[in-house]
Structure 1
Amino acid sequence: MIAVSVYFLLTLLGLLVPRSKFVASLQWLVLTVYIAFNTGGMDMNNYKSMFLYNGRNFHFDPLSKEFLYSWLEFEFYQRNFDFVGFNSIIICAFSPILLYFVLKNSKLPSLVMSFIMVYPGIELVIQKRNTLALFILLFGINALLNFKKNNKLIYIICTVIASYIHSSFIVYILVLLIPKIEIDRFRILIWRIFPLIIIATPLIPNIARLFMSEGVFYTYFVDEAMSLNFSKALFFMLMQLSIFFVFLKLFEFIEDDVNRQWAFKFLCFSFLFITTYFFGSNFVRIYRNLLILFYCSSLISVQNMERILQGRLNIYYFILIVLLLINFSVSYLFGLGWDMVAKPIFIENLLIELFLH
């Protein structure tokens, strides 16, 4: 299929030409087309049903959870848009934040975009509401990395706005509570923190219910379709733990103190939820949403590609790529399979159908 070939050729091109802003922009444009104009696949029926429900039954209540997304759907429905039209306009309006974030925070933007396209690129297409909230969160994270004044206030505002789109995003405010700590010190503390995380795990549903909408709470904690048996939950936990330690090592090479500090705090934050896979696979989103930051931060200080090819960084990047490919395989080749999970995003697309038919 042409659409699949374009996606993977652009991914490969970013690996071959890692510094190119033009290639990164082209990758972003293609990814935006897939996200914005997708017309089918997993969760699409749910999104269309939600759009119809909010369009017909919306009640103005700014204090209600996920109020902003419901209100946007209502406004577009009243103007005779369908869900695809609504999603295409909203995504096209906010997706430039992704490109801006990558260009601003990495010296190897096309390489970062290639990493994103490997994982979690396809998920950005499937999880449309989560993706919109993620764009807003990235704007807040960029403020932490680059703004000297009111950066935490901007981050809080962005996090709250994102939570009005997807209520689970409110949890990212907790990043601000993580104290400054050196990476070497954290390696010692991590084995003391981990038992506490295990002990606190049963309390998570009761706390989450206070902040999540009923629908999101059901998806994360109740829906048996998303639950994992012990062996699968352990696999996901070990996979994230492996990626965690790779990034932990790569962050040692970050030359900018501010970037290293915040990237490390977000990495520590993702570690706090390492045991939540025993509630279900949806919790992968908590760390998956932060991968874009981690990619940018771990690549930001690499001034010369020879440091990757000849220096000691190469082994860590190799391990990271292997782990991401395993993630890709588990997510899209096994389980529900390529045909159900990934294939629809390449063939059920308004623009692609327009140009190829």
Structure 2
Amino acid sequence: MNRQATRMLAEAMGTTSLRIKGHVMPMPSEHEMRKAIAARDKSSDGQFFYGVITTGVFCKPSCSARPAKPKHLRFFPTIESAMVAGFRPCKRCQQTEGIPRVTRLVEIARHIEEHADEQLTLANLADMAGLSPSRLQKIFKEAFGVSPKAYQDAVRMRHFKQSLKEGNSVTDAIFSSGFGSISRVYGEATRNIGMTPKVYRAGGTGEIINYVCRTTALGLMAMAATDKGVCFAQFGDDETSLVTHLKAEFPNAELIASPAQDDPELDAWMEALDLHISKGAPRPDLPLDMRGTAFQMKVWQFLLSIREGDALSYSEVAARIDKPKAVRAVASACAKNRIGVLIPCHRVLRGDGSLGGYRWGLDRKRALLDTERKHRTD
């Protein structure tokens, strides 16, 4: 499911808040959640849920199942978010509560994704879910943060952007994505991709990208950002080669080197990232402008949910995104990640536990993992 298009779904995989009757309530801290799980604290039920990556199930804090290793736990604010992330309900503690409704909602969301180019009506979707149209509209928005129609438009926008990147004309991309209206898609597209469709297809012609180069604990790094967020963060041997690489990634954009006084936010982002790299500070939660194929985006979105200090194999990532046979494609997506550290592809290893590849060198990959694990232990 597409985070950039709907934002909600990937936020559900890594959020620290709980939506209750339209309000967002904070989840307990990770320390408090782990303490509640160890104590099987019934008073914490409903405040959060936890998934176990080795079994693929999610539980209440009070679940009497055999305790899992701490490194295998993932935390979620709601049943919906756990199921969207791919976990199934524990038969011991989640037998009936809310599950049928959640299952129906996930099925509706997947149906919308598979038929985004078709004319879907709220009435037809409601019939599939066995609900009234008004009821489906309400609980779908409560669970996923957007209406079924808005979700369909988001999926269409993802297809539209991919069609443009593949070189199709704007008109062909509009109709193949299912929008059916040139005037309508221009309003949607400008808001969602930060530029007009023709500019996007032309490789960002007319787009301004600011960048900075700074020396970090792991060597020289360049960070670049559009008005949507960080689009490039990579290590290099010298500033010239980094800028050359940036130009190759965005050949038609206007690149502007930004002194701190002209772009203090970008400079602050770079400093925050260096503190994470060098001193184990939390990874900064910066806005990201990710650009890739639908599959690459899915992999990168999942990487954002891997907890600091943890590492998964390429096959585990493939399984978690429901593409168990796409192990090589997952490895390729990691290799093509242009936003280093912020999208933590360094947390993916080979099946035998060895480091595998890393486009910025295995020494950096090892150092990043060691720093994160030390920070979590401390």
**How does the TM-score come out when normalised to structure 1?**
0.28
Which fold has the larger relative contact order, with Cα–Cα distance below 8 Å and residues 6 or more apart in sequence? 1
Which has the higher Rg, Structure 1 or Structure 2?
2
The structure richer in strand per residue is: 2
